[in-house]
Structure 1
Amino acid sequence: MHKPQPGMATPMRVTGGWSSDQTGGPPAGVDTLPAMQVLDAGAVRQWADACVRSLDANREAIDRINVYPVPDGDTGTNLLQTMRSALDALLRAPADARDAAGTSLAALARGALAGARGNSGVILSQVLRGLAETVQGASTMTGGALRQALRRADELATAAVSKPVAGTVLSVLHAAAEAAGDGPDDLENVITSAAKAGAAALADTPRQLAVLAKAGVVDAGGRGLLVLLDTLAAVVTGREEVTEVVPVLPRTPESLTTGREAGSSEFEYEVMYLLDGVTDDGAERLRADLGGLGDCVSVVGDGAELWTVHVHCNDIGAAVEAGIGVGRPHRITVARFADQITAQATRFVRDRAVVVLVSGQGAAELFRAEGAVVVDLAEVEALTWADLLAVLVSTRARQVTVLPGSPDLREHLDEAVTQAVAAGQDVVVVPTASPVQVLAAIAVHDPSRRAGDDVVAMAEAAAATRRGELAASDRDGITWVGQVAKGDLLGLLDGEVVLIEPGPASADTVGDLACRLVDRMLGGGGELVTAVLGADAPADLADLLEGHLRHSHPEVELTVYPGGQPDTIIFVGVE
């Protein structure tokens, strides 16, 4: 059995306040109120709020004793953020969705699942789901219901972990659930028995996991769970919560390089995302696929339509692609465990990739033929930064150059790039606000050049290309050159309206305005005109432009591509 060294924090000191007192009573000087007989919606909200405050107070201490997945730890932070997400979901829920214990716990469970951080956050979401499932539709929770709820929480949390390990939060939860089944059925006995047994199980974790004994700490996740149990006991009994924080010695170099509590040090990244549209069979298939990529796999749901996925792996792209194969991943987060470890396992399968974001089947096919990874924006509904992040990581390239064909993507793209860079991928966005600028950039792309030089070349080519477009106005408005009615034809130059032709549009008016736009763009010089035709472009527009340029600008070369954009008649680029 592990023996604490002189000065080391004794594991038994983690027992929480009065709840672990062997007499079962409160410590001297603690005021008491009549114990609750049932938990109603108000008590559930009071507990959730108290959990956030208590986890906030204990966060740093829990982080410090966390030896998993890296020595500087984040279990306390992850539990706090997950519980905050749960409380926020409860507070934002409609009144009729939080007017009873059952509906309030369901809101907490869903919020925790949606905002789960780390493996500890996933487990917390399943604890809350277990409580919610047991009292589904009930206005209050009795002691007997809490007993069943803790057992259900134990089942769900254990099922959420691919390879349960003794000496972790699961051991603490199991002990609490078992103890809750003993003695009288009243609410006070159930929760105080659970908290007392959880404290004893937590104290025993260093004897179950050598990594904890080596570092002189108890399990951080179990410590966080005990905070929640003690907080619930305080709410039920009306006694002041007295939770003693474990003192921790400064780590020795040996303890700082200790192995992981769970999972293999072979895997350098934690990948998490939410998943919609998944069947139970799909979830099981995803677990198997992720199990082949890494460890610490969790694929768990809220009992309805939302799932959360967690895995430690090296191949981030493959982990996201596995989710795409069974549903729709979103809110993707990637964290690197140990930047200080120099020897990292191979993550990327190629050095470079170019990602193009454009609308229209013709444009998409054009850029795919150039070897780019293409997202056809016309086929994506409500594009989010998580969707863009999924594209970036799925390239499995060390360095990614992004060529956006629209100026409207900046906000989502910035967030996706930030997440990808934080996960160790080198991502650069070349300012391209139109498919014609994307064409100019990709025309000078040379994979044999140094990555930095290649990006500079593409950026210079895009910047040297003036962009124009012709589209029908979708609303009434005022522009720099006059008033516009819905259906009028607009000629835009570098994003600004410069020409207006009253609608409705006809082949003749479209052709005339396109020629005027090209003439205006060539007024500043140019040798090459590139046109990308939208889905609604007249069939003879390319021939009309060619004839016009041959007569008015015979020195200019014209290149035309079918684009298929649904909302733009023609894009024009001048170089």
Structure 2
Amino acid sequence: MPYPLDAVAVRTWCGLALEALGRERERIDAINVYPVADGDTGTNLYLTLESAARAVEAAFDGHGSAGTAPALADAVGAMAHGALIGARGNSGTILAQLLRGMAQVLVVSPAGETGAAEALRRALRRAATAAYEAVAHPVEGTVLTVATAAAGAAERTAGGAAGVAEVARAAHRGAAEALEATPGQLAVLGKAGVVDAGGCGLVALLGALADALSGEVTVVPVAVRAGGPPPEPFGCAAAGVGDAAAEDCADPHAGGPAFEVIYLLEAGDAEVARLRARLDRLGDSLVVVGGDGLWNVHVHVDDAGAAVEAGIEAGRPYRIRITHFGAGPRGKEPALAARAVVAVVPGAGLAGLCTEAGATTVTVRPGEPPASGELVQAIRQARAREVMLLPNDPELRHTAAAAAEQARAEGVRVAVIPTRSAVQGLAALAVHEPGRSFDEDVVAMTAAAGATRYAELAVAEHQSWTMAGVCQAGDVLGLIDGDVAVIGPDLARTAMTVLDRMLSAGGELVTLVLGADVPEALGERLERHVRERHLAVDTVVYEGGEYAAPLLIGVE
């Protein structure tokens, strides 16, 4: 029996779609050869939809009336927003825009079966159009083509008695047929003998929508024409990228950008328009999705720092993720590195610093710690057999441990280095040596972190009791090893007092990380103070960027 297009249907759709993408994730990863053969499209789609599903559940949990569901607009809006803030990779970013396009139409709950069918047709068309608008240089034979075909198939049901379930099923069939044709539209797919991975995920998603609305769970294999017998698997879909067939799965466009940069951005429309133009000059695979002041930015570049700086000029970037595609030509599945480092850092400046040192970074802002799934994804993106995970925050120790456990179940050897601050992470990263044994590297990095005392300066928001006495709103707090040790009137004098206390027990190197709003002269002043008061102690100064604390101090 068909179900109405309402919030409950959206919730059911999310659940069925997660199940479908969970089944197909590894297969979709294996056929991922465009735009970069990094084997993560299925995983990125799953994680993006998982974020969307959590948002829908939150909408139900937050609904005021017990036993009733929120409005359709609230559910589909939550789904779109959850996908936007949790989008992973090129494929996840486009999926977020597809869902946003649908939500823009479904803001008004349709009346009756006929109204629901027409609303779904318009929603699918708006989704396809919005996705094209988000991609800087649309390419046919991709998920964009599949989305357009789905909308067209849905529109061809108009004029009859087709209900909303029939419209969804027609869209699913149209998408599946279009997906089969993608190897003939995009040369790299034809050479590899595979269909488009992103389009493969969209077919699974639309199949779940049809099942949710019809009440009949009839799983049609993705990349197979609906209603027909399953053919032999396409090339790399069966063999898997990374074996002897991998050479046939290579993108002929070698020598492309080295980094994938993704971040959420709070900015206005005009600023985002200028950002698009700037990022388009910097790299490729540019996708910018969102609106109403919140955007998700995705681009492939050689200069990751420049891409982040462009975001800072446009607005407030956060949840910055920078991934190195690895050595070797663009389009080839990068060989697994022997060992890699994944670091959680506050601030774009620290992210750039760690990236230059070869680490995969997860950038966070205060109050928004990463989930274990986000750390697991970063470990996967590091593409290494062995990974050193630097949480750089005592509050993340359990999250990091859970991520490490999951990664170990996937065959990656992971060690969590117990870094409690970003400066301890920098110290550990400085002694990282992939050439020595794993255990020796763990010991060396752990010892370097443990030998680094850390401090942070912050501004008190209200009066409170501390271990150093009572502080007033506006006072500068100096926290040494996590505890308030100094209360001062301004940043410079408090920092000097903190440095003197830390260096009273000795030290060879002071690391200063300055926040975005701190004047550059402070670094020079503190460096001069250390040189004059503590002979034979070297000082290095880094820019932490936005979301870093006003000042971080490390003493080794």
* TM-score (norm: length of structure 2): 0.61
Partners of 2:143 and 2:183 in 1: CA distance? 12
Q: 1:271 aligns with which of 243, 261, 276?
A: 261
Would you say 1:133 and 2:104 are equivalent positions? yes
Could you tell me whether the CA contact under 8 Å between 1:86 and 1:108 is conserved in 2? yes
The CA deviation at 1:212 is: 1.3
Task: For residue 399 of structure 1, report the CA deviation from its aligned partner.
Answer: 4.4
Matching residue of 1:366:
none
Alignment partner of 1:290 is 2:285:
no
Corresponding residue to 2:2 among 35, 40, 45: 35
Report the equivalent of 2:87: 116
Q: 1:476 to 1:56 in 2, by over 3 A?
A: same
Output the amino acid matched with 1:219: D
Of residues 194, 209, 214 in structure 1, which corresponds to 2:186?
209
1:391 and 1:556 mapped to 2: Cα distance? 28
Equivalent residue letter for 1:237 = S
Which one of the candidate residues 292, 302, 322 is aligned to 1:334? Answer: 322
Contact 1:169 1:221 in 2 (8 A): yes
Check whether the contact 1:103–1:137 (CA below 8 A) recurs between aligned residues. Answer: no
Q: Is residue 259–residue 265 contact of structure 1 (8 Å, CA) maintained in 2?
A: no
Name whichever of 491-500 and 154-163 sits farther off: 491-500
Deviations 1:317-369 (A, max 9, x none): 0000010111010001112224455999xxxxxxxxxxxxxxxxxxxxxxxxx
Residues in 2 aligned to 1:496 and 1:258: alpha-carbon distance in whole angstroms: 50
Find 1:80's aligned residue among 46, 49, 57.
46
Alignment: residue pair count = 415
Partner of 1:250: 239
2:72 matches 1:95: no
Kindly indicate whether residue 198 of structure 2 is the aligned counterpart of residue 221 of structure 1.
Answer: yes
* CA positional deviation for 1:254: 6.0
Query: Distance in 2 between the 1:188 and 1:573 partners?
Result: 61
Contact (CA 8 Å) 1:264, 1:295: kept in 2 or not? no
- Does residue 49 (structure 1) correspond to residue 32 (structure 2)? The answer is no
SS at match of 1:325: helix
Give SS of 2:32's match: coil
* CA 223–476 in structure 1, closer or farther in 2 if over 3 Å, else same: closer
Task: Describe the SS at the equivalent of 2:314.
Answer: coil
Displacement of 1:427 after TM fit? 13
**2:287 alignment partner, SS class:** strand
SS of 2:206's equivalent? helix
The 1:319/1:143 distance shift into structure 2, 3 A limit, reads same
**Separation in 2 of the partners of 1:77 and 1:213?**
23
Which amino acid counterpart does residue 125 of structure 2 have in structure 1? R
2:174 is the alignment partner of 1:165: no
Within the candidate set 302, 313, 318, 1:325 is matched to: 313
Displacement after TM superposition at 1:222 (Å): 0.8
Structure 1 vs Structure 2 CA RMSD = 5.4
For the 8 Å contact 2:182–2:196, the answer to whether it is kept is yes
User: 1:71, CA displacement in angstroms?
Assistant: 3.8
Q: Residue by residue, what CA displacement relative to the aligned partner does 1:523-569 show, whole Å, maximum 9, x if unpaired?
A: x899xxxxxxxxxxxxxxxxxxxxxxxxxxxx999x9xxxxxxxxxx
Matches of 2:283 and 2:74, distance apart in 1: 36
Structure of higher CA gyration radius: 1
Worse overlay, 222-231 or 329-338: 329-338
The answer to whether the aligner puts 1:107 opposite 2:78 as a matched pair is: yes
User: 1:102 Cα deviation (Å)?
Assistant: 1.1
Q: Say if 1:335 and 1:423, in contact at 8 Å, map to a contact too.
A: no
CA change 1:73–1:399 in 2 (3 A) is: closer
Change in Cα spacing, 1:155 to 1:493, as seen in structure 2 (3 Å) is: closer
Q: Tell me: CA distance 1:96–1:395, structure 2 relative to 1, closer, same or farther (3 Å).
A: same
- Gap regions ≥5 residues in structure 2: 224-232, 333-342, 360-365, 393-417, 428-443, 508-532, 538-552
Q: Residues of 2 paired with 1:398 and 1:61: CA distance?
A: 33
Q: Please state if 1:181 is matched with 2:171.
A: no
Question: What letter matches 1:153 in structure 2?
Answer: A
Task: Tell me which residue corresponds to 1:151.
Answer: 125
Whichever residue aligns with residue 147 of structure 1, its letter is R
Answering whether residue 24 of structure 2 is matched by residue 58 of structure 1, we say: yes
Letter in 1 for 2:90: N
What is the distance in 1 between the residues matched to 2:248 and 2:71? 48
| 1:158 counterpart letter in structure 2 | Y
Aligned to 2:335: none
Report the Cα offset of residue 260 of structure 1.
Answer: 3.4
Q: Separation in 1 of the partners of 2:246 and 2:265?
A: 37
Per-residue deviation, 1:387: 4.6
Select 2:297's aligned residue among 302, 309, 323: 309
Q: Given that residues 254 and 330 in structure 2 are in contact (C-alpha distance below 8 angstroms), is that contact kept between their aligned partners in structure 1?
A: no
Q: Does the 8 Å contact 2:35/2:331 carry over to 1?
A: no
Using the alignment, how far apart are the partners of 1:72 and 1:573 within structure 2? Answer: 36
Aligned in 2, Cα 1:291/1:145: closer, same or farther, shift over 3 Å? Answer: same
Q: Report the CA distance shift for 1:265/1:92 in structure 2 as closer, same or farther (over 3 A).
A: farther
How far apart are 1:129 and its partner, in Å?
0.7
User: What's the counterpart of residue 350 of structure 1?
Assistant: none
- For residue 172 of structure 2, the aligned residue among 176, 195, 213 is 195
> Residues 192, 293 of structure 1: CA spacing in aligned structure 2 closer, same or farther, 3 A cutoff?
same
Distance 2:471 2:139 in 1: 65
Counterpart code for 1:148: R
Alignment correspondent of 1:233: 210
Alpha-carbon spacing, 1:478–1:159, altered in 2? closer, same or farther (3 Å): closer
Output the TM-score relative to the length of structure 1.
Answer: 0.59
Aligned AA for 2:314?
Answer: V
Distance in 2 (alpha carbons) for counterparts of 1:314 and 1:275: 20
Deviation at 1:256, TM superposition (A): 2.9
Q: Give unpaired runs (5+ residues) of structure 1.
A: 1-33, 345-383, 402-407, 442-455, 527-554, 560-571
